Amino acid sequence: MILFDLKCAKGHVFEGWFRDGAAFDAQAAAREITCPSCGSRNIAKAPMAPRIGKGAKAAKEAPPETKAVAAPPGMMQALRELRRHVEANCDYVGERFAEEARRIHYGESDRRNIYGEASDEEARALDDEGIEFKRIPWVPRHDG
């Protein structure tokens, strides 16, 4: 498996895993790779620094898929709209998300919609406690 930094014709950079360099070449020639930001199928390898493997452990950590995964058309715009809605209608609590979600759940704070950051460990703990929350992909507000 090999990880390439990829770039579309509009300049968006993203990553893709491939079986090998020839697999990338074949998929790019067949226009099977799409930009997750804009849907462009004009994709090339972007300049990148090599990543040196750390032995067997690093090989086990590589994702199993061999094709670059792209968002369906319109998905990025829908996610941007979701971000605008959340920012307009919820209170930002930053890294205190897990703590504030607990306070709301246990009636120690007024019920309201909040958003912020939580580690995987904090999210698992909230889930174990039966505290309802959702994780959403946080995409850029607009194409850069």
pLDDT of residue 56: 54
Domain identity same for 68 and 89: no
Domain identity same for 41 and 24: yes
Domain identity same for 6 and 59: yes
Domain identity same for 51 and 98: no
Domain identity same for 102 and 51: no
How far is 71 from 30, CA to CA, in rounded Å? 18
Domain that holds residue 36: 2-72
pLDDT in tens, 14-36: 888 888 888 899 999 999 998 88
- As for how many domains the chain has, the answer is 2
pTM here is: 0.50
**Per the domain annotation, does 89 fall within a domain?**
yes
Domain identity same for 63 and 102: no
DSSP string, 78-143: HHHHHHHHHHHHSEEEETTHHHHHHHHHTTSS----EEE---HHHHHHHHHTT----------SS-
